């Protein structure tokens, strides 16, 4: 057997494997003898058919199977010995039809194309700069959250006359044409000028207005029109009031406190406000941690400056997902895939260079944290903890074990990123929730 490597570029190459008879024939002969012992061929007792007959019936298929097995094993062994990182899977170079005569040919040549990167290196020192974000929960956000909770848990009423911030249920009709839609209209989502038309109304009142008075986003957010419907609106409209819905804010009492945080968790308005602030801060601490890590990934991916074999990887992705994705799908999603691949290469290299390992115990603990977050608002805390081991086991075994591998990768990434933050020039920056939203929109 002869294996040769021919590099076409800095990240793509061809591998040629030449097999001669001595490489495969002993295995083929052994498999034929095994078949002959078990074969049930008409006219012969089991295992008594001539080897020549067995060869005539099964020889080619056995030869093909054994050569494929040898190719797979040899190629994998060869690639593991190389200093570069293989990306994707080797792609066999297709031969012309009937180019192989399996019955008479003794020597065989096969060719594969591969994509790779020679090395992955990122300088984890003070020349690499990053930002660690911290979101500050201010009084404004706390008050807005409490107001939202009071509204969410308030009592619903149906007053006779509408006021600001009511929801008005009724029929929207175009003056010209046959457009008609029944909907609940939240006045809080309208501009002050348009909302004023709906204040002081009673049941069966009719409001007249022009389409041009309503902002584009209000047609979808307030009037619940689809994009197609909103694109067609023009001219005059009427809205006939059928009912008025108002939510009276909940009172800050013990019953309200218990509904939000559970029985006797807080016992005063002051404790409630403190608890709301703590809960918000915990939530935004998690969000800022995730955001910081994603931004660090971008910094490291850019600094690594890896040259991927893009054309090869696109072809491999298309063939690996044959029938499931189109070329257009691959082109659209490839930039995201490429960044994820580069980060995976970086994470694995940093972990290898610094002996960073994701332990089984880490996977279990991270899974527990995830489950606790999912059940956080259910009020089933004690019951959940009693069955936690079962929840964890069921989740990690799910998706044919892929959930476990995903969690293992997640733990490694967290450890790598924590290590990175210790080594680079990391500047801490406190931002408001509004500044955080602006960063997310970039």
Answer yes or no: is pLDDT of 432 > 80.
yes
More confident residue, 343 or 379: 343
Answer yes or no: is pLDDT of 91 > 90.
yes
Indicate if 292 and 426 belong to the same structural domain.
yes
Q: Is residue 435 part of a domain?
A: yes
For the chain, the domain total comes to 3
CATH number at residue 216: 3.10.50
Indicate if 379 and 292 belong to the same structural domain.
yes
CATH number at residue 107: 3.30.70.1050
In the prediction, which pLDDT does 56 show? Answer: 82
Q: Hey, what are 169's tokens?
A: 């249920």
More confident residue, 113 or 98: 113
- pLDDT band, very low/low/confident/very high, at 94 (cuts 50, 70, 90): confident
Indicate if 194 and 60 belong to the same structural domain.
no
In the prediction, which pLDDT does 355 show? Answer: 95
Last residue of a domain, one of 248, 275, 307: 248
Q: Which residues span the domain enclosing 380?
A: 129-139+267-441
The mean pLDDT value for 4-32 works out to 93
Alpha helices in 104-253 (DSSP H): 139-152, 192-195, 216-221, 227-232
What's the pLDDT tens digit per position in 417-427?
999 999 999 99
In the prediction, which pLDDT does 380 show? Answer: 59
In the prediction, which pLDDT does 267 show? Answer: 94
Q: Is residue 262 part of a domain?
A: no
374: left (phi over 0), alpha (psi -120 to 50) or beta: alpha
Strand order in the sheet with 85-92: 2-7, 12-19, 108-117, 85-92
Q: Hey, what are 391's tokens?
A: 């929840």
Indicate if 103 and 171 belong to the same structural domain.
no
Indicate if 278 and 235 belong to the same structural domain.
no
How much is the pTM? 0.75
């Amino acid at each position: 057997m002869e294996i040769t490597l021919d590099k076409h570029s800095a990240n793509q190459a061809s591998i040629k494997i030449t097999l001669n008879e001595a490489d495969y024939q002993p295995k083929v002969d052994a498999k034929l003898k095994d078949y002959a012992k078990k074969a049930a061929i008409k006219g012969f007792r089991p295992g008594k058919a001539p080897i020549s007959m067995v060869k005539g019936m099964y020889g080619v298929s056995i030869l093909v199977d054994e050569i494929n097995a040898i190719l797979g094993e040899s190629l994998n062994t060869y690639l593991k010995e190389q200093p570069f990182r293989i990306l994707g899977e080797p792609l066999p170079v297709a031969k012309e039809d009937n180019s192989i005569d399996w019955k008479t040919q003794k020597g065989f040549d096969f060719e594969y194309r591969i994509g790779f990167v020679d090395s992955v290196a990122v300088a984890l020192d003070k020349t690499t700069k990053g930002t660690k974000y911290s979101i500050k929960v201010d009084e404004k956000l706390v008050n807005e959250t409490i107001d939202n909770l009071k509204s969410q848990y308030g009592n619903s009423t149906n007053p006779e006359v509408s006021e600001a911030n009511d929801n008005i249920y009724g029929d929207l009709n175009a003056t010209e044409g046959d457009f008609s839609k029944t909907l609940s209209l939240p006045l809080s989502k309208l501009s002050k000028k348009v909302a004023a038309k709906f204040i002081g109304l009673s049941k069966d009142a009719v409001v007249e207005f022009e389409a041009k008075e309503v902002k584009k986003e209000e047609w979808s957010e307030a009037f619940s029109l689809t994009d197609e419907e909103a694109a067609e609106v023009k001219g005059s409209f009427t809205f006939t009031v059928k009912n008025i819905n108002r939510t009276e804010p909940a009172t800050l009492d013990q019953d309200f406190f218990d509904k939000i945080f559970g029985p006797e968790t807080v016992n005063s308005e002051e404790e409630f406000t403190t608890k709301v602030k703590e809960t918000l801060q915990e939530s935004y601490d998690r969000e800022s941690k995730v955001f910081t890590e994603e931004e660090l990934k971008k910094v490291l991916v850019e600094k690594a400056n890896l040259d991927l074999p893009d054309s090869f990887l696109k072809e491999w992705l298309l063939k690996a997902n044959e029938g499931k994705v189109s070329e257009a799908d691959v082109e659209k999603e490839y930039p995201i895939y490429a960044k994820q691949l580069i980060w995976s290469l970086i994470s694995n290299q940093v972990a290898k260079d610094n002996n960073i390992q994701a332990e089984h115990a880490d996977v279990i603990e991270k899974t527990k944290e995830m489950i606790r977050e999912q059940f956080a608002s259910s009020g089933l805390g004690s019951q959940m903890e009693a069955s936690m081991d079962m929840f964890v086991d069921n989740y990690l075994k799910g998706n044919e074990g892929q959930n476990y591998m995903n969690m293992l990768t997640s733990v490694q990434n967290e450890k790598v990123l924590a290590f990175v933050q210790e080594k680079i020039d990391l500047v801490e920056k406190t931002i408001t929730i509004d500044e955080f939203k602006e960063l997310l929109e970039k």
